[in-house]
Amino acid sequence: MVSALILVSVFVSPLFDSFLMPARASNSSYSAIIIDFAYQPLRINVTTGTEVIWTNNGNTQHTVTSSPQTNTTQRGTPLISSGPLNPGQNFSYVFYEHGVYPIQCGFHPTMNSLVNVTGSDLQPPPVTTPPSVDYTPYVIGGTIAGAVVVASIALFVRRRTKKLGASGSASQ
């Protein structure tokens, strides 16, 4: 009886997990290239959770940037922004929300592409920030070390001045 329950739980529990677990991004990726002042393909069709990887196979710098007229953040910065890509470099972006994303090269405004994302919106993974470093001990240590050096120099100069003063008065 117990072995039958274990057997049933092994085969049935994964079925219920799909109802309880939130939708996750698939591990799929899509490769696109940049060459001869064009994105290839011009239109990319993917589902939410797909990572699109653009590789610059051209001979000049390009960018992968969301069109300035659309797809900007609330502060007006591009939603997608690779920065300059030198020949051979790549840039990837995971699309978590469905929609149409016009792409444009920041250096060559006539270079355009379109990413069409279908499927249910997914929750992006939480952004992890590295722990902040407390520099207070370093500042205090540096200040103490600086004070010791200054005090040592002052003591050296004072002793040196006394020796010179003592030898100068003895010779008179």
Range name among 40-54, 75-89, 104-118, 142-156 with the lowest pLDDT average: 75-89
Q: What pLDDT score was predicted for residue 170? A: 53
Range name among 2-11, 69-78, 135-144 with the lowest pLDDT average: 2-11
Please work out, in degrees rounded to the nearest 5, the angle formed at the alpha carbon of residue 144 by the alpha carbons of 139 and 148. 145
Q: What is the pTM of this model?
A: 0.58
Q: Where are the domains of the chain?
A: 22-118
Q: What pLDDT score was predicted for residue 6? A: 37
Strand duo 51-56 + 29-35: pairing? parallel
Report the share of the chain in percent with pLDDT over 70. Answer: 74
Strand duo 99-104 + 112-118: pairing? antiparallel
Of residues 90 and 71, the one with the higher pLDDT is 90
Q: What pLDDT score was predicted for residue 17? A: 37
Query: Is the confidence at residue 112, as pLDDT, over 90?
Result: yes
Report residue 126 as tokens: 């939480």
Q: Find the mean pLDDT for residues 36-54.
A: 96
The pLDDT confidence band at residue 137, using thresholds 50, 70 and 90, is confident
Query: Domain spanning 22-118: which CATH class is it, in words?
Result: mainly beta
Range name among 81-85, 104-108, 158-162 with the lowest pLDDT average: 158-162
Query: Is the confidence at residue 101, as pLDDT, over 70?
Result: yes
Say how far apart CA 63 and CA 80 lie, in whole Å: 10
Q: What pLDDT score was predicted for residue 133? A: 78
Phi-psi region of 88 (alpha: psi -120 to 50; beta: other; left: phi over 0): left
Q: What pLDDT score was predicted for residue 57? A: 97
Q: Are 57 and 72 in contact (CB under 8 A)?
A: no
- Phi, psi of 54, deg, nearest 5: -100, 130
